[in-house]
Amino acid sequence: MRIFAAILGTETNTFAPLPTGLAEFEPIEPTPGGPPDEMKHPFAQIIRAVRERARRDGHEVVCGRGAFATPGGLTTRRAYETLRDRLLDDLRAALPVDIVALGLHGAMIADGYDDAEGDFLAHVRRLVGPQTIVAAELDLHGHLTQQKVDSADILVFFKEYPHTDIYERAVEVVDLAVAAAEKRIKPVMSVFDPKMISVFHSSREPTRSFVDRMTALEGRDGVLSVSLVHGFPWGDCPEFGTKILVVTDNRKAYGDALAEQLGRDVIAMREKTLADYMTPDHAIDVASNTQGCVVVADSADNPGGGAAGDSTFVLARMIARGVADAALGPLWDPGAVAHCFAAGEGARLALRIGGKTSAASGDPLDVEALVLKCVRDAKMIDAFGRGEKATALMGDSAAIRVGGVDIVLNACRTQAMGDVFTPLGIDWRAKRLVVVKSSQHFYAAYAPSAVKVLYVQTPASMTMDWNSLPFRKRPDGVWPFER
Ligand SMILES: [Zn+2]
C-alpha cells in the first residue's frame, strides 16, 4: 500500500493582533525514510504513526512538505495558498496513493478562507478521486465543518485537553485508514450540532467521565471513533461551535442517533463544563492564604490560542500588591530579553516589560530588574507532563527578579505547555504563587506539584468574556451567547 502523509495547520484567533504569515509557519519536512522518533513536533505524530505502521506491514510512505504555526491572528492568504499549493504539488507527484493521512489543526482561518483546512481537504479529494482513503487527525479545538466531513473518509479529533493523546489518536487514524483501504471497514461519519460552545477540561468532571464514555463506546456496535469537537471560541466563522462526531462502520442511522444522544448529554452538562475564572486579585488572595504552591493559569493571554503572551494584567497586580515568593512566565518580550543579555547575569537595570503588542496586552511595566540568568535558545522541559526530555522551544530567555516575583522573559512566543522555570534556574515548586501563560496545556506538568490550580480572567485576546468580542460570522442561537 502507498500512503501519503503530511501536516498543515494553525489555530486562528480572529480577535488576536498578530498576523500569521508564511514566516510564522515552522516547516516540518521529515527526512525521507527517516526514523519515526525524529517527529517531535506535537502535530507531527501522524507521520510517526504512519511510518511505524509502514515499517511493520511493509507499506510505502511519501511525506509532503508540511508546516505548522504557533496560534495567532488571521492567517494571510499568501501563507495559506503557498502552503496548500506546495502540499498539493507533493501529493500530485506522489500519485497514485491508497491513503492520504493528514495531521491538521482544524481551526485555521485565512484571509478569504473561513475553513482553510476544509478547503485543503476538498482540493485533496479532487486530486485523488473517490477511491483513495482520505483520513485526518485534528485538534479538538478545530471547527468541524460540512466541507471537512464531505471531503474526508475518516476524521478523528484529540480527546484530551490538555492534549496528551495526540500520538494515540494518530495511531487510530492510521489503523482505520488502513482497514478502510483494505475494505475491511466502510467508515461513515455522523455529526450532531448542539448549538453551543464551551471550554472542556478533561482533567476535571464532568468532561473526564464524558471522555471515558466516548472511549468505551468505540470498538463495538460498529462504532469506530467518537469525537467531542470542542470548537474554538476565539475563531469567528460561520460553522463555529461544539460538535459531536461519530464514525461507524457503515451504520449511518445508528451513528446519527448516537451523535444526537451524546450531543444532548453535552447540552445537559454544559453549565458545569467551564472552570471558575476568577479575578487576578482573587487568585492572589487565595495564594496568600494557602500553604504550598498555587498555580494560576493566565488563560486569556495564552499564546497557544493566538494571544500575544505579553499582557501585564496579572503581573501588574502582583507587583502593585508586593506579592512575594512568586513566579510568572513566559512573558514574551524579545526586546527586554536583548537588554538582559546585554546587561548580563547579576546586573540590575531599569526595564520596560510586556504590554507592547496591542491594547489586549495591557500597559507596559517599568520595573527595576535583577537579571538572574540568561539562556540562549532555551527549551522548556516536561512538556505535557512527559518528562525532562519532552522539550519545547522558548527562544533566548532571561530570568529576572522584580520585587518578590521571578519572571521568565522569552523571545520565541510560546505558551507554558511545560516547565519554563527550571531551565532558567527558578525553583517554582518552592514558590507560593506561580502564574503561567497557558489555558490548560500547562496542567500535566504543573498540577502534580501544586496544592491548587486556579484560572484567572483578564481582558487579553483569549478573554472568557465572549460577549465582549466583535463576532461577525458565527451563527445566531449559540449558547452561551443567546440565553
Ligand atoms: Zn487544542
Model confidence over 75-87: pLDDT tens digits? 999 999 999 999 9
Alpha carbons 452 and 297: distance in angstroms, whole number: 11
Q: Evaluate the CA torsion angle 474, 462, 142, 157 in order and state its sign.
A: negative
Residues 178, 36: Cα–Cα separation, whole Å: 18
Flag whether pLDDT at 38 surpasses 70. Answer: no
**All three cell numbers of 461:** 485576546
Rank 23-27, 36-40, 272-276, 474-478 by mean pLDDT and report only the highest.
474-478
Q: Indicate if the alpha-carbon torsion angle 469, 453, 437, 41 is positive or negative.
A: negative
- Average pLDDT estimate for 372-389: 94
178 C-alpha vs ligand 1 centroid, how far in Å? Answer: 26
Query: How many angstroms is it from 161 CA to the middle of ligand 1?
Result: 7
Q: How many CB atoms lie within 10 A of CB 130?
A: 7
Residue among 214, 163, 154 nearest 189 (CA): 154
Ligand 1 centroid – CA 423 distance (Å)? 25
Q: How far is the CA of 92 from the centre of ligand 1 (A)?
A: 30
CATH architecture of 2-272: 3-Layer(aba) Sandwich (3.40)
Q: How far is the CA of 309 from the centre of ligand 1 (A)?
A: 17
**What is the distance in A from the centroid of ligand 1 to the CA of 198?**
13
Residue 385 clears pLDDT 80, i.e. is over it: yes
**Cβ neighbours around 256 below 10 Å, total:** 17
In whole angstroms, what is the distance from residue 406 CA to residue 421 CA?
A: 9
- Please tell me the distance between residue 184's alpha carbon and the centre of ligand 1 in angstroms: 31
pLDDT tens profile 447-477: 999 999 999 999 999 999 999 999 999 999 9
Looking at the chain, how many residues does it have? 483
Average pLDDT over every residue of 416-431: 98
φ, ψ (nearest 5 deg) of residue 434:
-125, 115
Q: How far is CA 300 from CA 87, 310, 367, 444, in A?
A: 33, 11, 23, 19
CB 220 within 8 A of CB 284: no
CA of 139 to the centre of ligand 1 (A): 5
User: What pLDDT does residue 247 have?
Assistant: 98
pLDDT at 99: 98
Q: Cα(11) to centroid of ligand 1, in Å?
A: 8
The residue extents of the domains of the chain are: 2-272, 277-463
Residues 49/169, Cβ–Cβ less than 8 Å: no
Say what the pLDDT of residue 28 is.
82
Residue 34 has pLDDT above 80, yes or no: no
- For ligand 1, the distance from its centroid to the CA atom of residue 140, given in whole angstroms, is 6
Centroid of ligand 1 to alpha carbon of 108 (angstroms): 12
Pull the grid cell for residue 64. Answer: 509532503
pLDDT of residue 31: 74
Question: From ligand 1's centre to the CA of 412, what distance in Å?
Answer: 19
Compute the distance from residue 345 Cα to the ligand 1 centre, in Å.
36
Question: What's the confidence (pLDDT) of residue 235?
Answer: 98
% of the chain beyond a pLDDT of 70: 98
CA distance 339 to 356: 15
Above 70 in pLDDT, residue 381?
yes
Mean pLDDT of the chain: 96
- The sign of the torsion formed by the CA atoms of 160, 166, 167, 171 equals positive
pLDDT per residue over 97-139, tens digit each? 999 999 999 999 999 999 999 999 999 999 999 999 999 999 9
Rounded distance from Cα 172 to ligand 1 centre (Å): 18
Indicate whether 417 pLDDT > 80. yes
Confidence grade of residue 483 (pLDDT, cut at 50, 70, 90): low
Ligand 1 mean position, distance from CA 440 (Å): 9
